[in-house]
Amino acid sequence: AHLAPGTVVVNKSTVPVGSSVQVGQWLGRTDVFVVSNPEFLRQGTALQDFLHPTRVVVGGDNEAAVEKVASLYASVDAPVLRMNAASAEALKYAANSFLATKLTFVNAIADICELVGADVFDVVSGLGLDPRIGDQFLNPGPGWGGSCFPKDTRALVKIAEGNGYDFALLRGVIQTNDEQYERIALKVVEVCGGSVAGKTIASWGLTFKANTDDLRDSPAIAILHTLKEMGATIRAYDPAARGVEMLPWIQRCDSALEACDGADALAVLTEWPEFTGVNPDDVASRLKSSVVVDGRNVLNPQQWKSSGFQYRGVGRS
């Protein structure tokens, strides 16, 4: 009753396909319209993404309402895509699920590279030059996480299931990503001689990626929890993570070097730039054993090997 006739309700959230129609039914007004205008913002670069988007998506079932929302972006230098509401809602899920699939694929290729003696960086450099593939989202690592990819991939599987389609491909992507966490944990176990029971693991990084303070569905947390369940003590440093106190099994340290004090192995689990500047000789003086699992491939392997480290990366020896 408080909405004036002609009001357009804009939904920016990632919501199940059909939500715009559902909201319209809840409103119960033929003179109020619902438009889907999903955001494509990345944590850590949200302002840049908002001001300089690659595309603007406006979806609705009333053409005038769609044009009203599209006009808000008249000064934005980006394509404005107009479509129906269901298409806009599906597009957001499709985009995130495709990116998750691409990351999972390159992680699987990295695992194969390790088995056959190939270097994943040489492989992906060739892949990325193919314009049909592109060079984005080709960095192997511990798996994807955060507040979007896990929920959006599972939601799309559920949406498909609810409409009679078994999205086996995406279910496989989710399963393979979960297995990637375990693969990285097992690398740590391997460099520790086959067991981490009674040992201390130093972690550089806790957030799901650099330039954010978010621990939600973080691969680092999943990997460290696996090691904790195997009997390891966890010491960790992250320059920005919030909410670590909710994980009392993690001993939070004030610096990357402090986290290494007395640890049996080091695991690099978030790609914070500052980690590349730490002197491996200083790290070696803190650790009980000079072993490192570089789950983000951010360290210089030759530099660390020259300092006497047993180095394990992802997709390369």
Catalytic residue among 113, 148, 192, 253: 148
* CA atoms of 146 and 270, how far apart (whole Å): 12
Q: Which segments within 97-256 are labelled E, that is strand?
A: 200-204, 233-237, 250-252
Backbone angles phi, psi at 292, to 5 degrees: -140, 135
Distance CA 13, CA 11 (A): 6
| Residue 210, amino acid | A
- CA distance linking residue 118 with residue 110, whole number of Å: 9
DSSP H/E element including 83: strand 80-83
Distance CA 103, CA 96 (A): 11
Render 23-35 in DSSP notation, one character per residue: HHHHHT-TT-EEE
**Helix 85-116 vs helix 149-162: crossing angle, to nearest 10:** 120
Taking a C-beta distance cutoff of 8 angstroms, is the pair 268, 297 a contact? no
3-state secondary structure of 217: coil
Question: What one-letter code names the amino acid at 171?
Answer: R
Q: Tell me how far apart the alpha carbons of residues 255 and 236 are, in angstroms, rounded to a whole number.
A: 9
Task: Classify 58 as helix, strand or coil.
Answer: strand
Q: What DSSP state is assigned to residue 218?
A: -
CB contact at 8 A, 226 and 209:
no
113 as an active site residue: the answer is: no
Angle at 227 between CA 44 and CA 288, to 5 degrees: 95
Active site residues: 148
